[in-house]
Amino acid sequence: MRVLVTYRSMSTCVGRVRAGDIVDLPEEEVRRILTTKPRALEILPELPLEKPAPKKAPVKRKRARKADGTLKADDPSTPDINEAWEDGKHLN
């Protein structure tokens, strides 16, 4: 359980904590600390778990081919279009 330490300093299962530290402590330990020092900890709301963004599959580029099936070459006279690839984009 996430808690904000308001007591100046104390030992916990995660080590020495000081006032202002936000730590995750087991519920049993929080209950034990609050029994002896009622204002030593402030219980914080649990943060919702964020789902990682789905990974996009890399776009598989396809080489352009001539009518007879051989690969096309890039035309150097058109620097903004790459004719060797079907999408016509440069990688750089």
pLDDT range class, residue 89, cuts 50, 70, 90: confident
Over residues 5-24, mean pLDDT:
94
The confidence score (pLDDT) of residue 91 equals 64
Are the CB atoms for 19 and 34 separated by under 8 Å?
no
Q: Please state the separation of Cα 51 from the chain's center in Å.
A: 9
Residue-wise pLDDT tens digits, 43-80: 999 877 788 888 888 888 899 999 999 999 998 998 88
More confident call, 55 vs 27:
27
What is this structure's pTM?
Answer: 0.52
Are the CB atoms for 51 and 72 separated by under 8 Å?
no
pLDDT range class, residue 29, cuts 50, 70, 90: very high
